[in-house]
Amino acid sequence: MTHRGNAIVWFCVALFSVAGLFLVHEMPSLWHAKFYLDGQGLLSASPSAELFAGSYRGTAWIFSPVFQLAEYLGLDLSAYSSRFDGQWFAMNLLWTMPYLIMIWIVVWQAGVLSDLSSLFVMFCALVLYAPFYGSINKDIVPTFMSFTAVVALLARRHRMAVLLLIVLSLAYGLVVRQYFLIFLAVLLVALFTIDSRRKVVASMVAGAAVVYFSFPYIPRALIDIGRAEYLEDVSNTRISYFFGDYSALGFTINRVSAMFRLAFPLELLLKSPVYAPFVLFRCYATLLMIKAMAQSGGVRIAACCVFAFTITQAIFEPDFGSAFRHFMMAMPLLIYLQAHQRRIV
């Protein structure tokens, strides 16, 4: 990269970071307070590191030192999201800054180019996702998991990257979010089959068959809790299925269709043009992933991670909003893929 290109990249990174911080501060007046539901849940949860503790209790245990630090600094956690003042913003910074630092490190280490597509990905990571990373949230943990894998990939330690993904996903799935166990299983299958289109098609057909025949044993509680009727007012982008979801065939078809709908969420444009940036980003991320899956080495590993997470989301996500929020995990991976896109094309 030339010095001029490097200067453009870091000017944009600085500009986008400042814009993201501005949005974090102004979000209550610009949008709505739904972004702070996760924070309220974490603050009210009882921390636990026991087996299958759950997303709130397990994450509350992970962040208990942060909450203790906040209390030591005199931040009033009881008023979080009910009073949007300096203490509220300071609390959000405890989640915002680690995310920004991770993005900066990946941009620096990966040698991101100054072309429009690269700047677009960085804009999405730093500005478009500001409402999601700029509050107390659970998704910073999976983002850190993918970040550690990307750091290993950038060091060309591919086996270490896969090992980190296995260990971290297993630990996270057993304690916090059980669906990361499915993510891990899909990731491993993808890594072993991605070298052949026939293997990919066969594994996807086999996966659909497994879902169909294991339907009676699927933990419906984990799925239904995200689709509870009381959440109707929380999300305006609920994923409405084409078939009844309580039969094996309907469940399978719904999840297969959901995978494509999440990968290319064009239907959101019919709901509101405000979703256009998210739709454009998600479609671009999918195309970037597809191109990268045909490659080898670290690029393929990163693409398989995005692919596995997309399939996992198709099984569990109740709405497009939640899917976009959880997709924050993929940001370090996408920046890594974008930095290598000239090798991919």
For residue 309, give the nearest of 190, 133, 170 by alpha carbon. Answer: 190
0.85 cut: is pTM over it? yes
Q: Is 158 exposed, middle or buried (0-12, 13-18, 19+ CB in 10 A)?
A: middle
**DSSP letters of 19-62?**
HHHHHHHHHHHHS-GGGGHHHHHHHHS----STT--HHHHHHHH
Under 8 Å between Cβ of 193 and 203: yes
What is the per-residue pLDDT for 344?
44
pLDDT in tens, 274-286: 999 999 999 999 9
pLDDT in tens, 117-164: 999 999 999 999 999 999 999 999 999 999 999 999 999 999 999 999
Would you state the structure tokens that stand for residue 217, as one six-digit string?
């044993």
Domain ranges of the chain: 3-344
Would you state the structure tokens that stand for residue 291, as one six-digit string?
């191109």
